[in-house]
Amino acid sequence: MQPINKVPLTLFDQSRSSLAIGSALLRVTLNCCRLAQSHHILWSHLDLSQVRPRSERQPRSLLKTCRIGKTCPTISRLIGTVVQNVLAKYRKYLEFLGLLLLAALIIWLFGRKLDWAQVKIAVQTSDWRLILLAGMVILVAYVWRATRWRVFLAPLVTTSFNEIWIATTVGFAAIFTIGRFGEVVRPLVLPMRDKRVKPAASFVTIMIERLYDFISVALIFAVNLLWFSPPDSSASELTNIRIAGAAMVILLAVAVALLIWFRSRSASVIGWLDLKIGGRSRLSGRLKRALLSVLDQMATALSVLGQVRELALTIGLSLLLWFSVAFANLLIFRAFGLSFGMSEALFVLGWSMVASAVPTPGGGAGAFHAATGAALVLLGVGIDRAAAVAIVLGLVDFAPAALFGFFYFLRGDVSIARLRSMMTVSNVEHAVEDERVTLAGNAKPLPAAAVNE
């Protein structure tokens, strides 16, 4: 016979007399022999139906299961899960707080050396009639923007100008309030109000619109450099400025040509990327799917570039939009007594456009004012007057659309609760990655790589 092994186990014995005071811990020694027959175990007043497997028992304390000085995997995973849940829940608020702090830092750096009394005097002595006229011109620029968005959507879906106007003004009111994170508001508001518009079509056309804006402003800025003559500049500096302008024009022309080429060869390009990019891991597979889906949707939206009428119309509306903004800026310069021409206005516009991409609340607050003020200083304007012009310019560029947007919010044309529920990361990712974008009256299937991934 084999030696007897003693296995100590901890069990809970519940008796009738101890129900009022809880469970008593008993230590029972179980003796068993290694025989072919079943074990004979004596239990003292124990109901086997109340004994749960060890895996189902709740630990008395997670902390007691870990030895001192050693890492507990259970605690680490628990803490990691809690931290991830908290970050996911409050991510938007933390990012907004971070951008507010960034804007405050930039504004402090921008204004710490200013004589704010002189800034106030410059604002008070400006011609407010010209500033109001500039605001009306900016409002016309938003009309051009909404009209251009409707043209972008035309190959995909038919919608009314009124719905696009409401979505445009509400979207820029959100950008003015919460910064560039408000970019998602505009493509979400339009499908909310017009059921014919899919969120995917709305997002893709906004992406094409931002591409148009970048190329338009960069091209106008580059061409303007070819004859731009800043004050107190030497011959060598003028030569360098013109060389930089010519280089930018060439690069932008190449970029536009590549976009047109991609539109005509999108299927082969996406198929080649599908073969070359591996998707073995979960993360790489998701990134691959997102890239292929975005490229396919961009190719569908770029179909407007393949039609001469729509191409000419969108280019013309882009020029009307940005020359309207430049003319409004010129009116503001004149309101502050600056005898600038259109060339100087376009030069400042290029700087302002780059800085407005910084996603701080207030329409790029801080970065916009610092870049605009720096451009004016380069043109020979005093730093205090430049700061005053930059502050008024930022308000005029965003306030007209923001006022309309807030009006539509207050009137109830847009449900804030529903908009907040749609502004989740999962909804935006679904609209960009998963929804199909098709041409109106001519369904265009997604490549197999994007569908089967």
Quick: pLDDT tens for 331-346: 999 999 998 989 899 9
On average, the pLDDT of the chain sits at: 74
pLDDT band at 99 (very low <50, low <70, confident <90, very high): low
Of the two residues 116 and 325, the one the predictor is more confident about is 325
Same domain, 336 and 404: yes
Contact (CB, 8 A) for 370 and 356: no
In a domain, 35, yes or no: yes
Same domain, 51 and 156: no
Mean pLDDT of 132-136: 95
> What is d(CA 85, CA 103) in angstroms, rounded to the nearest whole number?
27
Same domain, 251 and 285: yes
Same domain, 276 and 347: yes
Of the two residues 294 and 352, the one the predictor is more confident about is 352
SS3 6: strand
Same domain, 198 and 78: no
Of the two residues 280 and 305, the one the predictor is more confident about is 280
> What is d(CA 30, CA 46) in angstroms, rounded to the nearest whole number?
13
Same domain, 271 and 406: yes
Q: Give the closest residue to 270 by CA, choosing from 254, 288, 284.
A: 288
Same domain, 80 and 159: no
In a domain, 282, yes or no: yes
Q: What is the pLDDT of residue 82?
A: 64
Q: Kindly state the tokens that stand for 123.
A: 């604002």
> What is d(CA 432, CA 245) in angstroms, rounded to the nearest whole number?
35
* Containing structural domain, residue 414: 116-452
In a domain, 65, yes or no: no
pTM of the model: 0.70
pLDDT over 80 at 393, yes or no = yes
Give CA separation, 202 vs 49, 169, 438, in Å: 61, 15, 12
* End-to-end Cα distance, the chain: 63
Q: What is the pLDDT of residue 410?
A: 84
In DSSP terms, which residues pair with 13 in a beta bridge?
24
Contact (CB, 8 A) for 170 and 348: no
Mean pLDDT of 136-161: 91
Contact (CB, 8 A) for 418 and 188: no
Q: Kindly state the tokens that stand for 209.
A: 């619109």
> What is d(CA 248, CA 219) in angstroms, rounded to the nearest whole number?
7
Q: What is the pLDDT of residue 141?
A: 95
In a domain, 64, yes or no: no
Q: What is the pLDDT of residue 83?
A: 65
Encode pLDDT of 184-198 as tens digits.
888 888 888 888 888
Same domain, 53 and 200: no
- CA Rg value for the chain: 33
Same domain, 310 and 406: yes
In a domain, 347, yes or no: yes
Most confident of 57-71, 233-247, 317-331, 412-426: 317-331
How many domains does the chain divide into? 3
In a domain, 350, yes or no: yes
Number of H helices, E strands in the chain: 17, 2
pLDDT over 70 at 208, yes or no = yes
Same domain, 25 and 134: no
Lowest mean pLDDT among 240-244, 259-263, 294-298: 294-298
Contact (CB, 8 A) for 350 and 360: no
In a domain, 106, yes or no: yes
Same domain, 30 and 78: no
Of the two residues 451 and 437, the one the predictor is more confident about is 437
Q: What is the pLDDT of residue 441?
A: 56
In a domain, 63, yes or no: no
> What is d(CA 254, CA 248) in angstroms, rounded to the nearest whole number?
10
Same domain, 153 and 182: yes
Most confident of 169-173, 225-229, 234-238: 169-173
Mean pLDDT of 131-148: 95
